[in-house]
Amino acid sequence: MTEESYSAYAVMLLALIVFSVGIVGNLALMCIVWHNYYLKNTWNCVLASLALWDFMVLFFCLPVVIFNELTKRRLMGDLSCRIVPYVEVTSLGVTTFSLCALSIDRFHTVTSVQPRPRQIEPCQSILAKLSVIWIGSLVLAAPELLMWQLVQEVSPRTGLPVDSCSQEPSANLPEMLYSLVLTYHQARMWWTFGCFFCLPLLFTAACQLLTRHVTDENAKTKHARPSSTSSSSTSSSSSPKKQQQRRERQMMRTVVTLAAVYAACSLPENAWNIVLASAGIEVGVATRALLALIGQFLLFVRAGATPVLLLCLCRSLGRGFMDCCCCCCDECTPDPSSSSTASSGTTNATAVSSLPSSLVSVREDKLKIVSGAMFFDKVKDGPAELIIGTPC
């Protein structure tokens, strides 16, 4: 056991925790939105899209980074040097545009004249909105595919080959494309800071201030308006208004928390890049590699912590996750009453089997229809927090 061994075990343990929590949380969030018919709206689908890209970052990028850190070799060679930064920058773009979309969705919810009826959006409408986020993020991250290349060296201490990824555009590119990639390489730091850090934070803060201003103005006009309705009508309309206000507060808390976590995980890397570039400080290769590793780990931590926060903040998503866990526990644990009712069940089964097949099929269809109707009535009569956001 040496110092390198202890650091390797620490990196492995931290990566295993982040990988496990992130994979389970993102898969749970995507499955809850996908399998629940009444959760398919713009708000929840944007959150599921964010979980999808966080899952891809953890599943594809984290093992490659950890393997390179421990063995100093690169999985898939030059291909991973291009794909891993591309997926990471695309994930930053998806998070940026998702925060903007969530802020716009909340602003439309608050500024609507009257609460819209709960309805389910068609898949075409949801995919059209998500395609704007995905295509914009994929296009903005496209220069990352041409800017990285694999560099292989021999370690002077161990004599073993060492792989590293360098930010140097290939000279084999066409002249026009090479100049564009070189321009992107020179402005990459400020472009990342302005587009992927300042834009979502400023946009979220502006939408929050405008939303709060509109809410205060609506509250003032409601208090100043003379009340000509009866007490029964006001009492009947108070509960929908309270539910609407509770949904608005929940949406505000969710957007602010996502923006805060994103800022906390992105600020250190942007800060030391700007300081090193502005001060003209030259650091060694090992220090630069360590800073790059810390920045990537902060990205992985953000990808693993985001679904956990969403499941805790959104009541509908958290309730769906708890229902799924309870169903799994009920299926795994045996029913204690099954043993006592085994004999009655066998007699009923023999009695049913003695009936004609047509009567049995009719009876089963009736039971399915009644149980399905009871389920959908229960879901429709559920709490108002079942659907969060504005429908299409």
| Residues recorded for the chain | 392
Helix (H, G, I), strand (E, B) or coil at 227: coil
The pLDDT of residue 391 is: 41
For position 3, what pLDDT does the model report? 65
57-86: average pLDDT = 90
* pLDDT > 80? residue 310: yes
What's the confidence (pLDDT) of residue 370? Answer: 43
Q: What confidence tens digit (pLDDT) does each residue in 208-266 have?
A: 888 887 777 766 776 665 554 444 444 445 566 677 667 777 778 888 999 999 999 99
Spans of all domains in the chain: 3-144+188-218+246-328+378-386
Q: What angle do CA 101, 102, 108 make, to 5 degrees?
A: 90
pLDDT of residue 275 exceeding 70: yes
The band of 387, judged by pLDDT with boundaries at 50, 70 and 90, is: very low
pLDDT digits (tens, 9 = 90+) for 320-369: 777 767 666 665 555 555 444 444 555 554 544 444 444 445 445 444 44
Kindly indicate the confidence band of residue 383, based on its pLDDT and cuts at 50, 70 and 90: very low
* Span 273-283, average pLDDT: 83
Taking Cα atoms as reference points, which of 306, 313, 268 lies closest to residue 91? Answer: 306
Average pLDDT over residues 314-321: 79
Distance of CA 84 to the CA centre of its chain: 18
Q: Can you say whether residue 160 is alpha, beta or left, with left for phi > 0 and alpha for psi between -120 and 50 degrees? A: beta
8 Å CB contact between 102 and 46: yes
What's the pTM?
0.78
**pLDDT for the residue numbered 168:** 82
What end-to-end distance do the CA atoms of the chain give, in Å? 60
Give residue 295's Cα distance to chain centre.
19
Partners of 165 in beta bridges: 150
Report which secondary-structure segment, H or E, holds 73: none
Tell me the backbone φ, ψ of residue 339, rounded to 5 degrees: -70, -40
> Tell me, which fold does domain 3-144+188-218+246-328+378-386 have in CATH?
Rhopdopsin 7-helix transmembrane proteins (1.20.1070)
- 137 and 97 Cβ atoms separated by less than 8 Å: yes
Structure tokens at 122: 């068609």
Backbone angles phi, psi at 275, to 5 degrees: -65, -45
Handedness of CA 66, 72, 75, 78 (dihedral sign): positive
Q: What is the mean pLDDT of the chain?
A: 78
Q: Which amino acid is at 282?
A: E
pLDDT over 70 at 284, yes or no? yes
Residue 332: predicted pLDDT:
57
Residue type, 129: K
Residue 32, CA distances (Å) to 38, 246, 317, 329 in order: 10, 22, 7, 17
Distance between CA atoms of residues 240 and 260, nearest Å: 30
In the chain, % of residues over pLDDT 70: 72
Q: DSSP readout, 148-204? A: EEEEEEE-TTT--EEEEEEE---TTS-HHHHHHHHHHHHTHHHHHHIIIIIHHHHHH
